[in-house]
């Protein structure tokens, strides 16, 4: 924002006139020391010579002798309290020295004297801006632009005030006016680019930054900003080049180094990313964002203790940092670090209820069995990161297609639990009625599953390097009727695609088991167990009630070579409880229940997933603290799918977790012939295993209280004949009930697609569908 002061005056006709006139001439020719002397002579001859005092002050300002200039203007105002220019310049000095309220009072005095004083409007607006009184500042700048419509600075300042008020569309219009008035103003293009960036119009923002770079080729800020736009457009290599150029131009720019780290992390060059974050923190030790980004990468590398330390640093610097406490809690849960955990649960739940930006949605599913609170968490996250975007035109109604065009969107078309459940679905869709397209934005792995999946679709599109807008345009060009989000609020999600409306009908399924908290998601695939009718108000989407919500792949193979107990590290005798859920699903209350079960079943052990060494040690310590020997916990390493499934055959009973049940792991256990004992909760995540058990007709393994859960586990472990009967029933039901009826599930899903498509073609809004 420009800053201005006023100078110049009319000479007076007395004995001091000659000195005064001489001073004005010297001032105009920039002979400032000589001018000072001349004005001083005039003042000596005529002490009440207000204009001599005034111009003496102006000359001192030219020489940057601010305090002396302030005194000179003070003498003018003592002689003439309404001296317009002296009022203005005194206000200007107060403004420059941070005495904002006093400066504002003088600018208001100037406007009282002369209501059309352009610079007084500008400078009073600048002071109000510095006081964070943006609405008032905007009013001043608007009056200045009314007085002089072609005054670029006035429009620019209006734009800046509107930007601070987050009125980005109006701000953009003002910056566009500046660019029209000053077509070579690189900073105006930069600012309009920043505004478009805030509007999530990244392609347009990039174009403005490119223009700014052409005008300001050595401006590090513009390179950094263009890098940010490229980063949002998934052009991470190009973004990295821009960020690195910014660091070359401004080697002490911590933000540019942090952004280098972000681009490198997206390129999965995590170790290089950590080097950049460390450099950013060397330059700016209190850089909370860099600590957060460092924590994210460390977490991805399974360096959990270091990630936790980075989170703690960030929180100490920025306690109100959005969603950081939830991220920190998630890291703690991954290593089963339960210190002060109950207090954290209570605090985070209260803040979510208060609609604070405190927790990522996935973490909320893990520690809260309350669908109302889970909906709030999702809505808060979605509003912050993925609000509905209207940058593209509304989709015109597509013609009736001979085949319904379904697009499946996922980062997990590879060896991943989501792919493990859905692979057969894609293969057996009825190609006479449906055309199936994959939109893949995850890593290219070329593993066995990814090769199978590529063959299972009519069209498999790698859209990793396309922006959200480009993916949406591609889906619209293909006239995809139904877009299915298989990821939701999980790692590497692309919710922004759905926020721009990739298809007339948009569905959330399988990857995220809760509401997306977004009104642009039309349907959620469920069943009446995971989401009872009474729970529907806690989900923003309309329900598609299938007979069973979870698809399964009957082509999953168990390894033929059966493991021995010794090979798995299990004792030769004794009952084997197991739970291969990820470690962050294990809550302290659940674990305490498990330990009570072990204490009641002599020689029994608990077989768990060995996700990381920190979790193993913390769980062993927790067992000992609950009176159970550490060696009664056995940890199994990650195995290829056939071996992993075969390992279940050496366990006797799967113990489920709450609030977040087993989903894929429960299906895996049941497919391998292992009974699953669950305790049903209130939320979708807490009712998954109950749904699976109902679908395989084993409702006797669903309990409704912790006491009942523990009692049944002990009963099954100590009464072999009862467990044998359940295992026999499981074997009988495995291929004859809905859970593993892939063909039946697919036909029901296709019927749902047909019904929602018919509603769309009839111009009817989305509504619950019951099958």
pLDDT digits (tens, 9 = 90+) for 421-447: 999 999 999 999 999 999 999 998 999
Fold annotation for 404-545: Rossmann fold (3.40.50)
pLDDT of residue 173: 96
Check pLDDT > 60 for residue 1.
Answer: no
Q: What is the pLDDT of residues 73-103, one digit of tens each?
A: 889 889 999 999 889 988 899 998 899 999 9
Q: Cα separation of 495 and 348, whole Å?
A: 24
Cα 573 to Cα 58, 576, 643, 650, 669: the distances in Å are 97, 9, 22, 11, 21
Check pLDDT > 50 for residue 10.
Answer: no
pLDDT of residue 13: 53
pLDDT of residue 391: 87
As a CATH number, domain 17-207 is: 1.25.40.10
- Cβ contact 507:482 at 8 Å: yes
Fold annotation for 565-734: Rossmann fold (3.40.50)
- Residue written as token pair 């943006």: 134
Q: Which residues contact 669 (CB under 8 A, 6 or more apart)?
A: 578, 580, 648, 651, 654, 662, 675, 676
Check pLDDT > 90 for residue 484.
Answer: yes
Q: Cα separation of 118 and 127, whole Å?
A: 15
Q: Cα separation of 638 and 635, whole Å?
A: 10
- Cβ contact 105:124 at 8 Å: no
Q: 744: which 2 tokens?
A: 């039946």
Mean pLDDT, residues 536-559 taken together: 95
- Tell me if the bond preceding 359 is cis, omega within 30° of 0: no
Cα 276 to Cα 262, 266, 509: the distances in Å are 9, 13, 37
Mean pLDDT, residues 163-187 taken together: 96
| Cα 6 from chain centroid (whole Å) | 48
User: Residue 610's pLDDT band (boundaries 50, 70, 90)?
Assistant: confident
Task: Confirm whether 17-207 and 285-385 share one CATH topology.
Answer: yes
* Domain boundaries, given as residue ranges, for the chain: 17-207, 285-385, 404-545, 565-734
Mean pLDDT, residues 460-466 taken together: 95
* Domain range 285-385, CATH class: mainly alpha
């Amino acid at each position: 924002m420009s800053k201005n002061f006023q100078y110049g005056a009319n000479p007076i006709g007395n004995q001091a006139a000659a000195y005064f006139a001489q001073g004005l001439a010297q001032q105009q020719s920039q002979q400032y020391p000589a001018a000072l002397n001349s004005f001083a002579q005039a003042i000596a001859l005529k002490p009440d010579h207000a204009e001599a005092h005034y111009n003496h002050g102006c000359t001192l300002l030219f020489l940057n002798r601010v305090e002396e200039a302030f005194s000179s203007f003070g003498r003018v105002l003592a002689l003439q309290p309404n001296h317009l220019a002296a009022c203005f310049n005194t206000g200007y000095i107060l403004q420059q020295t941070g005495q904002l309220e006093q400066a504002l009072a003088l600018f208001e005095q100037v406007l009282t004297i002369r209501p059309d004083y352009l610079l007084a409007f500008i400078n009073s607006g600048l002071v109000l801006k510095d006081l964070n009184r943006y609405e008032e500042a905007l009013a001043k700048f608007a009056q200045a632009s009314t007085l002089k419509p072609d005054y670029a600075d006035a429009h620019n300042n209006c734009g800046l005030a509107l930007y601070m008020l987050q009125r980005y569309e109006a701000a953009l219009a003002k910056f566009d006016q500046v660019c029209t008035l000053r077509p070579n103003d690189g900073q105006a293009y930069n600012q309009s680019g920043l505004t478009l960036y805030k509007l999530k119009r990244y392609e347009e923002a990039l174009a403005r930054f490119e223009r700014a770079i052409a005008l300001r080729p050595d401006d590090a800020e513009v390179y950094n900003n263009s890098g940010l736009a490229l980063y949002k457009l998934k052009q991470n290599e190009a973004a990295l080049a821009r960020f690195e150029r910014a660091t070359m131009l401004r080697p002490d720019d911590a933000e540019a180094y942090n952004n280098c780290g972000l681009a490198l992390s997206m390129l999965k060059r995590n170790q290089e990313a950590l080097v950049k974050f460390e450099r950013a923190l060397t330059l700016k030790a209190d850089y909370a964002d860099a600590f957060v980004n460092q924590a994210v990468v460390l977490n991805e590398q399974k360096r959990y203790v270091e990630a936790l330390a980075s989170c703690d640093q960030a929180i100490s610097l920025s306690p109100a940092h959005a969603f950081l406490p939830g991220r920190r809690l998630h890291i703690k849960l991954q290593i089963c670090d339960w210190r002060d955990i109950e207090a954290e649960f209570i605090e985070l739940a209260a803040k979510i209820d208060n609609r604070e930006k405190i927790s990522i949605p996935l973490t909320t599913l893990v520690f809260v069995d309350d669908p109302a609170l889970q909906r709030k968490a999702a809505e808060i996250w979605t509003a912050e990161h993925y609000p509905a975007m209207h940058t593209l035109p509304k989709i015109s109604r597509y013609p009736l297609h001979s085949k319904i065009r379904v697009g499946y969107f996922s980062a997990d078309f590879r060896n991943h639990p989501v792919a493990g459940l859905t692979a057969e679905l894609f293969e057996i869709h009825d190609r006479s009625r449906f055309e199936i397209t994959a939109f893949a934005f995850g890593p290219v792995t070329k593993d066995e599953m990814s090769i199978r999946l590529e063959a299972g679709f009519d069209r498999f599109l790698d859209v990793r390097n396309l922006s959200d807008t480009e993916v949406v345009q591609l889906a619209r060009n293909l006239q995809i009727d139904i877009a299915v989000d298989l990821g939701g609020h999980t790692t590497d999600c692309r919710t922004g695609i759905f926020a721009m409306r990739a298809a007339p009908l948009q569905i959330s399924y399988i990857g995220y088991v809760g509401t997306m908290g977004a009104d642009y998601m039309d349907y959620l695939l469920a069943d009446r167990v995971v989401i009872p009718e009474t729970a529907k108000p806690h989900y923003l989407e309309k329900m598609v009630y299938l007979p069973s919500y979870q698809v399964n792949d009957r082509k999953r193979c168990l390894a033929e070579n059966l493991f021995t107990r010794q090979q798995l590290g299990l004792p030769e005798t004794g009952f084997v409880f197991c739970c291969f859920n990820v470690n962050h699903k294990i809550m302290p209350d659940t674990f305490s229940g498990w330990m009570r079960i072990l204490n009641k079943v002599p020689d029994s052990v608990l077989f768990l997933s060995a996700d990381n060494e920190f979790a193993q040690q913390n769980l062993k310590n927790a067992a000992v603290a609950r009176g159970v020997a550490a060696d009664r916990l056995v940890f199994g390493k990650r195995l290829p799918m056939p071996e992993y499934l075969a390992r279940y055959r050496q366990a006797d009973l799967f113990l489920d977790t709450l609030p977040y049940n087993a989903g894929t792991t429960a299906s895996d256990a049941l497919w391998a012939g292992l009974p699953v004992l669950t305790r049903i909760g209130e939320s979708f995540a807490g009712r998954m295993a109950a749904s699976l058990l109902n679908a395989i007709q084993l409702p006797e393994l669903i309990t409704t209280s912790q006491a009942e859960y523990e009692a049944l586990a002990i009963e099954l472990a100590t009464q072999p004949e009862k467990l044998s009967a359940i295992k026999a029933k499981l074997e009988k039901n495995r291929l004859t009930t809905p859970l593993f009826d892939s063909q039946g599930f697919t036909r029901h899903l296709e019927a749902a697609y047909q019904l929602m498509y018919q509603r769309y073609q009839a111009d009817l809004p989305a509504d619950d569908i019951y099958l």
